[in-house]
Structure formats: C-alpha cells, structure tokens
Homo-oligomer: A and B are copies of this chain.
Amino acid sequence: MPILNPDIETMDRKELLDLQMERLQIVVNQAYSNVDFYRRKFDEAGVSPDDIKTLDDLKRIPFTTRKDLIDNYPYGMFAVPLRDVVRLQFPLGMYGNPIVIGYTGEDLRIWRELVARVMVGVGITEHDIIQVAFNYGLFLGAVRFNQSAELIGAAVVPTSIASAEVQVRIMQDFRSTVLTSAPSFAVHIMETMQRKKIDTGTLSLRIGLFGAESWPEEVRKCLEDNLNIQAYEIFGVTELIEPGVAGECMEKNGLHVFEDHFLPEIIEPVTGRVLGEGREGELVLTTLTTQAYPLLRYRTSDVTSLHADPCSCGRTLVRMEKVLKRTDQMVCVRGINVFPEKIEEVLKSAEGLGPGYSLSTRGKMGMNDHLTIRVKASSEILQTPEERKGAMKERLQMAFRRALGIGVEVEFVKESKS
C-alpha cells in the first residue's frame, strides 16, 4: 500500500495524540493572542489557553460557527498580518453572506501535501495523467490538484468546464488514467460514453477520485462497473481546505482524516455534547497547524462518525464515514453548495413572491442533479395569465442562476393559510 508520508500516516496513535496535544496548545495560544474574536470567546467562557492541558480539555473551548466567520468578515478571524498571507479565497457560492479564508505560503504547502497524500494513497504515481474535470472558475480548490500532482510528478489535464463530450474525447486522445470530478459529473460522462457506445476497454482510465458532493455507495459501484475503474473519495471543508481534509485509501473503508493537521470530534448537534467513537453526529474540526485562519472547534454541519480501529492499509489515522447528510439546510447540487441565505436574498427583491419557499432535489442514485425551488406566490401572481407568469418564472430562474451559479427550476405555489 503506497503511503506518501509514512512517519505521520502510520504513526503510533499514542505518539500522534501527543503531537496533536503539542500542536493544539500552540494553535490555541496563537488564536488567543492574535484574534480578538477568540480572546473574547475564551474570556466569556472563563477559559484560558493554559487550561488546555490534555486533549480532553478541548471540550472546554467554545465552538466556532459559520455565523462567526460571517460576523468577522473580512479579516477579523486572521491570526497573521495580511503581508504574510499569499492567498485570499472566498467561496463564490456563499457570497450572499461572504466569508474570506486566508492562507500563508506554509498553509498552501501543507494543503498541497495533503491532497498528494490522497493521490498516492489511491495509487496515483508519476506515470499517471489526471484529468481534472472540476470547474476551476467556480471551485477554486480544483487548482490544488495541479499543485499536488506536480509534487508527485503526475501530469494534470485541467479540462475544467469542457462538456461531457469533450471530456470523453480528451480521455481518449490524451489517454487519461485518472478522472477527478464531482461524482454526478462522472456519471454524466459515463452516460455520454454509453450513448456513444464507447468501449471502456479502449480507455486508459483506471482510477476515479471524486468529491465536492455526497455520493452513496451505489454510485461508486455504478462508476466502477461502467467505467472500469477503482473509485475513491476525497473530502474537504470549504472553510478550512477543500479538498484535502481526509481521503479514502485503497481499502475503501472510510476516509482517513489528516489528524496531524485537523483534530476531529463528533458532537450531538443540538446539545453540543461530544459523542464517542462510532456514534453519528456533526463533524467538528480544530486546525492544528493553520497559520492564517485557525479554526477552533469549527462546526462543519457535515454528519458522519469516526472509527479509530486499525485499517489494513497500515494508516493509523482515524477513518470518517462518507458524509451523506448535513445539519443545516444547505443542499449540494452538481457539486455546487446552495445556501438558504442566497435564496432568501434573491426572493427579497421579487415582489409578490416569497419569503416562503421549499426546495426539492432529484437525480439519479441519491445524488442531486436538479434543484426545484417552490416559491410561495401571492394570489395575484397565481392568477396572472400563463404567458406572463412564464416570463416571471424565467426572470426568477435567471436571478437564481446568477446568484447560485447553477440553473434551477422555479415553481409558484399557493401560500398556505395561516
């Protein structure tokens, strides 16, 4: 089993916990000294950095939420001066309530290594040609695949926004051996091949590395069988690094969390109580080495569970179950995160429509290909002649497309009696 950084990835767990503790104390002290927000939070909770003496003391630290990041926009969460920051990233889909994440050169180097760990772990080598079919314009983390591939000497083809047909042609012409994309787009590529009656035996493809949206096991099986590949997941969290927080190994037995850089906990979302190994709950992450944008006990809203029993791959890093649920109302459609705030913002400027709405998604095998937004409409609007109503719907669809970055369907529904 190939491992990029065996010293860390197969480290004795006792030693790993010591390393985590050491790093936790440093990051807590830095956050307290350099970020007003954390100092205030600690002081209010009556906790001092010196109180954090064991990993068990972690639970004394207050949670950090997405709202905190929004409230401290733009630079309130930064722990280093701006001149030490080399990358400022704001998740495009979130712009309704903007956040901005900063990275130092060292933060980027670590990120690069973590994605490379996943690549090596699933068997990618310097001989591979990796076709990256993520939209580089919208998903800024996509470029990390280029950097990490360079690190291990593999070639990258950034196919970006090319259509499924062009992706297939490039896969044939360039003899790509690895496809990385949102799993729903991989299914679309697969169907395009089937329609064109392309024999996958003529392709060089052997590995799929998928992420940025949830995909049930059924999708893995379908992609593996029909594309004749081994399919793996890479996981990230937009507010930390995405992709690169965790990744599957060849055992496909959960995603190894890179615990030397991120300390994971699982909590009961309502009470905030920490849950034990194997229990399902909300994933909470604490950055252990991040310089620019340290996050202490950040609530990711992702629902999963952790398993620390040994993995046959030799890695000692805990394994995280695939994330298939969220604690918030965010939905992910074709790899793009759609936040309720963005929808509300669009509806604000639409007279006679909203604020009430409901979302409905559909797609193959439990993935979300289509999003329908059912908007509560006034009776005046519902009684408008069909043609004018159609034009109104189209305008609203355009507004949603601009705001969310994806096409959606709009339906007008009656406001329920109060």
Contacts and interface: CB of A to CB of B under 8 A. Distances in A.
A82 interface: yes
Interface in A177-204: none
Given A88-B129, A90-B157, A137-B161, 13 more contacts: A74-B173, A82-B155, A83-B127, A87-B150, A89-B158, A90-B159, A90-B170, A95-B166, A100-B174, A136-B137, A137-B137, A143-B143, A143-B146
Given A73-B173, A74-B173, A137-B135, A92 B160 contact: yes
A52 B162 CA distance: 42
A1 interface: no
A105 interface: yes
A356 to B, nearest CB: 27
A134 to B, nearest CB: 9
A86 interface: yes
Given A160-B140, A402-B163, A153 B100 contact: no
Nearest to A105: B150
Interface string A114-140: 000000000000110100000111101
A26 B158 CA distance: 30
A175 to B, nearest CB: 8
Contacts of A24: none
B137 A160 contact: yes
15 contacts: A82-B129, A82-B155, A86-B154, A87-B150, A87-B156, A87-B158, A88-B174, A90-B159, A100-B157, A100-B173, A100-B174, A136-B137, A136-B140, A136-B160, A163-B402
Contacts of A73: 173
Interface residues of A, number: 46
Interface string A316-337: 0000000000000000000000
Taken together, the copies of this chain in the complex come to: 2
Contacts of A223: none
A98 B92 CA distance: 30
A149 interface: yes
A86 B160 contact: no
Contacts of A159: 90
A200 to B, nearest CB: 19
A274 interface: no
> A86, A89, A100, A150 — which one has the most chain B CB atoms within 10 A of its CB?
A86
Interface in A77-123: 82-83, 85-90, 92, 95, 98, 100, 102, 105, 108
Nearest to A143: B143
A74 B73 CA distance: 46
A146 B111 CA distance: 15
Nearest to A92: B162
Choose among A105, A108, A154, A173 the residue with the greatest number of B CB atoms under 10 Å from its CB: A173
Nearest to A157: B88
B143 A88 contact: no
Contacts of A160: 92, 136-138, 140
Interface in A208-232: none
B156 A86 contact: yes
Contacts of A138: 137, 160-161
A153 B402 contact: no
